[in-house]
Every structure is written in structure tokens, then in C-alpha cells.
Amino acid sequence: MTSRGTVMHSANVYTIYYGANWSQDSSQTEALILAEDLLDAPDGEVHATFLSTYYDASGSVVPSQVRSVMSLADTTYSQGKNLTDALTQKIVSNAIQSGNLPKDSNGIYVVALDKAVTSSSGTAKLCTDYCGYNTHATLQGIDVKYAQVSYGGGPSCNACQWGFRTPTNAATDAFGIADKFASNVLHEVYEIVTDPDGLGGNGWESSGTGVNTQPSDFCQNQFGNYYTIAGGGGTTAFANTHLALLS
């Protein structure tokens, strides 16, 4: 795991809850509330526990200012129910252009898809090949960091459903799915803070065995302990983050 020098020193999270189920489905509403609670952890202390182990080229560490500034509901599926990255960019771009979300170069824009929405990137399919991703693009004249995250509770999204707690039943374990959704949101947010330009950029990445990874990828589906990553400028602790709040 090495740093090529770039991190975000403050991060304002803007979440677009895409789809009607975020307000209509009580399981999804629970997931939304949990994710917002985690992003707004008191004084950012939970975020600082993990993110302060990362630093930029000058040695300046990531501070704790990761917070949810505001969220937006797109209940009408403005770009349809089968998304691509281009359509995901459009969702973010439209939210900024309309003034519903601010244009913020310290922003992290999270597009959270409800259970009725699918997405694909080339041959890779959401819920089969990935549960979320982060990257950046020039939108509305600034460099926008954004992520797409699945809710995970859809009928064909088994790979994205399980969180910290031992699951019971995919169809009924709303809390387990909420837990995993919140974890996925923080996964992508933390990766943007530590690697703002996405894979291939100038932040913290590991080239591993043929697969480039970002910090949270080391902790995918692992809960309970710090995970120590050797290499680069020393050791870096990173773990899935919500244990402290939920245990």
C-alpha cells in the first residue's frame, strides 16, 4: 500500500438517494438512517480513528472532517432503472446544475441506488461483480469525486447483503442489509478520502496480485478488528468502520 501523495483533507458528503424505495420501503429507510448516522458520527471521531493513519506527500494526515452535509431524494428514477456510469454522472451533474446540491470541490457525491435499480459498467454488473465503486469526473466545471453504492437488498443482490451481524434471512433481515449498506457507503467514502481520483490516481492504492485495490478493499466483508497493511511508508491501520458504533 503506497501513497502517491493525494488525499482529501476535508470531505463533505452529499448523498443522492436514488429511487422511490428509500422512502417507501421501511427496510431501506432504516438503511438510510443508519448510513446518515454513521456519516455524522460525533465530532468525526470514528472517521478520525481510521483516516488519521493516512497522509499526503508532505506528511500531512487526513483530518477527521468527514461529514454528511445534505442529502437529496430522486424518487422518480430520473435516469431510469438501468444505470451506467455515464447516467450516474448525469444524476450528480443534474443535482449540482439545478442547485439542489452545492458545487463543492471538497465534496463526495454518493449515488445510493434503491433495490429496483440495476447498474453495469462494461460487462461488470452491480450486485454480481461489485457492490459499489468510486471515481471522479469533470462535472459542471469542477473535478467531482463520486461513488455509486447499491442498497443490496434486492432479490439478486446476495453478494452485497451481509454486514457485521450474522445474517438470518436475505428476505427478512432488514437490519443485516442496512448494516451492509452503511458499510458500503463508508467503504466508498473512505476510499475517496484516501484515493480521491479513483483507481489509477495519485492516492493510496495497492497493486497486489494483478488487481489494484484501494484501502477499504482490504476489509471487504471483514469486521471486528483493525487490519494492518504493511508496506509503503510504514503500516496503515484500516478496518471496517461501524463496529465501534454498533457493538
Q: Which residues bind Zn ion (CB under 5 A)?
A: 214, 216-217
Residues ≥6 apart with Cβ < 8 Å to 3: 54, 55, 56, 57, 203, 204, 232, 233
Q: How far is the CB of 55 from Zn ion (least distance, A)?
A: 20
Of 53 and 79, CB closest to Zn ion: 53
Of 41 and 149, CB closest to Zn ion: 149
d(CA 16, CA 135): 16
Q: How far is the CB of 34 from Zn ion (least distance, A)?
A: 19
Nearest by Cα to 149 from 198, 116, 184: 184
Of 199 and 243, CB closest to Zn ion: 199
C-alpha cell belonging to residue 221: 466483508
Of 159 and 174, CB closest to Zn ion: 159
Q: How far is the CB of 189 from Zn ion (least distance, A)?
A: 11
Of 85 and 217, CB closest to Zn ion: 217
Q: How far is the CB of 130 from Zn ion (least distance, A)?
A: 8
Q: How far is the CB of 103 from Zn ion (least distance, A)?
A: 26
C-alpha cell belonging to residue 189: 467514502
Q: Is 42 exposed, middle or buried (0-12, 13-18, 19+ CB in 10 A)?
A: exposed
Of 74 and 205, CB closest to Zn ion: 205
Q: How far is the CB of 214 from Zn ion (least distance, A)?
A: 5
